[in-house]
Every structure is written in structure tokens, then in C-alpha cells.
Amino acid sequence: MLKISIPVIDVFTGCMTRILLIFVIVFFAACEKDILVVTLHELEFAADATEEQFLNVTAYRNSWRASTNYDWIIINKESNILSVSVEKHTEINSSRTGNIIVRAGNATPVVVTVTQFAAAPNTLLVDPAYISFAANETFARTVAITTNAESWNATVSAQWLTIEKQEDVLVITPKAINSGLLQLSAEIIITAGNAKPLTVPVTQETFGSYINFDTAIGAYHGNKLNTGTAWFFLELYNNSDPDVGIIIEGFSTLPSSADDFMLDEGIYFVGNGAVMTFMPGNLFNGVLYPTFFHCYNTNNYKLVNGGTFTVSLSDAVYTITTNFTARDLATGDDVDNIRLRYTGRITFIDREQQ
């Protein structure tokens, strides 16, 4: 009898072999690690660096990505290039370090260390170190600023002066003469980069009891308001600075002769036409009149609205003193104790003969 043997086991074994082979291929393919290559693992930047640095990134089989948790590190991916830049570092005592992590599939992540050095200390010098204005000085003074910082700034809170930045110079100007009894003071704060801020003290002296003037201009007009009195105009200032002074318009006794006009001696009060009164200051259609304190070179004006002025006369030499109150046009503030004094001769010109 003929016997036929069927290789069942061989068929089974062959199938199992093929399945096992496929499994091994898939297993090793799955276990194969991706390859990631980054050209540099460390980057260094100066504190004020503005240029980017570039890394070449090569990743096989999978795309790559980069991330950082440091907000001062700026990264940008483009093709196989990773660009890195940093924000400006202003600390002068310490550097700072961060990192970038580059990943690709199951490849081992690459850590790129980023170091930014401490900032170089800025220098700041001022010359002069302080400013002192005379009581009647309203011209500008300057302070030279020397620094290696990119820029500098100046601030002041006082209202009696102005400051202006001009390249490497700070221009300081009082708004008016100091007519008060107390010295004015201010502190200007200068800053530049990370340099230690500097303080420039500024003062404006006081005359003490009075601000003294050395020049007087006078005029009068007989019976101008039909009151039987003479209107007079009087301007007091210093010859060295005619832009700063006071104009007073008031009334005195009408002289019997045009050549005989003299201011009445005594105390003058606010009024409007009576002998030994003066008219208060006003602003009408942009025109100031008739009694006001002026500082033309800084456009600062005070309208006299009260107080008194006193006239005494000895051997044709006047002594005129004031104790006015006024309103500051720039600030709207009331100003007390405007004490001015003039001693000298005054020639009054008859306006009717001009």
C-alpha cells in the first residue's frame, strides 16, 4: 500500500518563520533611533549684542523643532538653520544663562547653552555740579553732560524753572526773578543708562527785604481822565537786564506847570483816578496794562492786584518801595510780598508835549 506523507509541520514552520521575520524587521525599524546633529552646543553674546548667531541643524527621518523657556532668548527656524538672538542685558553685576532644546523624533534632545555677559557700567559726569542764580537773573545757564550711554535724560519737579535737553548740554532757565523773601531751590535728576543717577542742585537767591532796581523811566499826562489829577507812568528795571522789571500806572497831583510834575510822597493804594492811587494790572485782547511785573525774556508776567507802594523824596532823589500782591499769569497762583526798591532821580516826560 502506497503511503503519502504530508509535511504539515514544515508548512507550519515556514509560515511561522516568515511571520517572525516580518516581526523582527518591524521591531528593529521601530526601535531604530533618529539622528539629530546640531553644529554648536554653546553660544555667547555681549550684553548689548544686536546680531544673530546661526546653528546648522541636521535631522534624519524626522523634522526637528526648537524651544526655549527664556523670554530674553529669541529663536527662529528656517529650513535647517536655527537663528538665535538676545535682548539687551542691562545688569552690570552678573551675566545670565539660558538654554535652547532642539528635538527630532526619538533622537536624544540637544541642549544649546546661551550665555550673555554682564553689561559694562555706564559713566555719567556733569559740569558744573550745581547752579546758583541771582535773584534778578533770568538768563539761561548750561550744564555739560558726559556719558558713554546711548542716551541721557533730565527731570525736575520745581515750577520756577525750565529745563531743555540739547545734545550734550542741559539748559536751565528761571522763569522770573525771585521777588519773594525766600531762596528758591530745585533738584534736577540726570540719568544715563545703568550709571548711577546724579542730582544737580539749583537755587535762585533772594534779595532779602527788597529787589533793587537802578534805572527808572517816567512819564505823565496832565488831567488825562478829567479828574484834576495827573496820570503817571513809571518803569523800574536794572540797566544790566532791562527785560525784567515793573510798570506802574497811577495818579498824582496835577502840577501848576508842565515842568513841575513830581510824584506825591506817601503811600499809594489800588484805585482808579484818585490822587495817590495806582491802577491794577489787566490783560485785555492779549495786551497787558497798566500795572504789572514783567520778565520779557521768559514771557513771565504777574498782574499786580493789590498791596501798596511808597514814595519818599529828598533833594530830588526818589526812594520808591513796593509791597504788592499779584496773580501769576502762567500758573494762576497768587503771589504775595513783591518787594521792590528804587533809589535815584526820575525825569518825568510830559506826554502832552510829545
- Across-strand partners of 287? 284
- Domain regions of the chain by residue span: 39-116, 124-204, 211-353
Contact 338, 326 (CB under 8 A): yes
Q: CA 250 to CA 336: how far, in whole Å?
A: 20
pLDDT band of residue 300 (cuts 50, 70, 90) is: confident
Q: β-strands 42-45, 153-155: how paired?
A: unpaired
98: enclosing H helix or E strand: strand 96-104
In this prediction, residue 304 carries a pLDDT of 94
SS3 of the chain: helix, strand, coil, percent, to 5: 10, 50, 40
- Condensed to tens digits (0 to 9), the pLDDT of residues 170-205 reads 999 998 878 766 789 999 999 998 899 999 999 998
136 or 184: which leads in pLDDT: 184
* pTM check: above 0.75: no
Look at residue 236 and tell me whether its pLDDT is greater than 50.
yes
Residues near 248 by Cβ (< 8 Å), separated by ≥ 6?
233, 234, 235, 236, 278, 290, 291, 304, 309
pLDDT band of residue 209 (cuts 50, 70, 90) is: low
- Across-strand partners of 309? 268, 322
Look at residue 348 and tell me whether its pLDDT is greater than 50.
yes
The fraction of the chain above a pLDDT of 70, given in percent, is 86
Provide the sign of the torsion angle of the four alpha carbons 238, 242, 245, 250, taken in this order: positive
Residue 15's alpha-carbon distances to 19, 24, 25, in angstroms, are 6, 14, 16
Provide the sign of the torsion angle of the four alpha carbons 106, 108, 112, 113, taken in this order: positive
Reduce the DSSP state of residue 287 to 3 states and report it: strand
Residue of 270, 268, 236, 235 lying closest to 252 (CA atoms): 268
CB atoms within 10 A of CB 303: 19
Residue 62's alpha-carbon distances to 59, 105, 148, 219, in angstroms, are 6, 6, 49, 99
Contact 114, 72 (CB under 8 A): no
**CATH, domain range 39-116:** 2.60.40.10
Return the CATH fold of 124-204: Immunoglobulin-like (2.60.40)
